[in-house]
Amino acid sequence: MNISKVCEIVWEKIPEKIIPVSGGSINQTFKVLFPEKTLFVKVNHTGKYPEMFEKEKNGLLLIARTNSVRTPKPIYIHHYTDGYSYFFIEYIEKGLASTYYYRQLGENLAKMHRHSNKYFGLDEDNYIGSIPQKNSWNNDWVAFFIENRISPLFQQAYDTGYFNSNDAKHLEQLYRNLHNIFPKEKPALIHGDLWSGNTMPDANENPVIYDPAVYYGHREMDLAMTKLFGGFAPEFYYSYQNAFPLEKGFDERADIYNLYPLLVHVLLFGFSYVSDVKRIIRKF
């Protein structure tokens, strides 16, 4: 890995300073300082995650075109001969997570969710974390949720030994009830991986979202995932609800949507997340 060399190739100049940034579990991340600008760069193995940065760039641009919530501007992707890929994006200074920030995040996310499409899915597959995400078009949310979200990951986890045939029977029972559980809504453009680690305030306390796993899905997927891993401040939920009200019963449905990110975590981190999945599939 040679960030200085890549910068010299791309911009014909070497950065004054390269500072490692913590927080990423998939990519190595750095703050790159030039005299006239500062950039953020992600680095990973080209062969390990094919086209990951191209998919991320497309997701950032798709969200940006909605003029709803700020995302970092993609700058340049370079696949170097050292076997690494480098994704340079706009560097955004982190600000204070104030009440204003959470209110704006709720309002802006609601605005983004009003951008719709004829079908659920996306015109390309992408990633959620380091897990490939299938986005085949479907006009039925339940079918999309089962075929593109839950079933492929559950099968991988089953084959690995995390689940057994009894768990599979409970899941099949849940599948049969989904049409009676999920409210019918138009496809909404969603972030797809919206937890607290993928959003922050900028220096003016305006919300920024990043590391997307975008597709047109049920908007409650985003809202449900915000409740994992600590959740967001109450002002976020009040603001969203005022801007784009949810049907009654969302808090009960949230667990079902969160089967997807929990299965992702089972595949990435193992048995510590298995009990949560089993609890949910037995609950319904």
CATH architecture of 99-283: Alpha-Beta Complex (3.90)
CATH architecture of 3-90: 2-Layer Sandwich (3.30)
Residue type at position 61: L
The question of whether 140 is a catalytic residue gets the answer no
Reference 208, options 220, 225, 222, 191; nearest CA is 191
Domain boundaries defined on the chain = 3-90, 99-283
Q: What are the percentages of helix, strand and coil residues in the chain, rounded to 5?
A: 45, 20, 35
Reference 157, options 81, 62, 259; nearest CA is 259
Question: pLDDT digit string (tens) for 79-129?
Answer: 988 888 999 999 999 999 999 999 999 999 999 999 999 999 999 999 999
**Whole-prediction pTM:** 0.94
Of 193, 211, 222, 255, catalytic? 193
Provide the pLDDT for residue 23.
67
pLDDT bracket for residue 24 (50, 70, 90): low
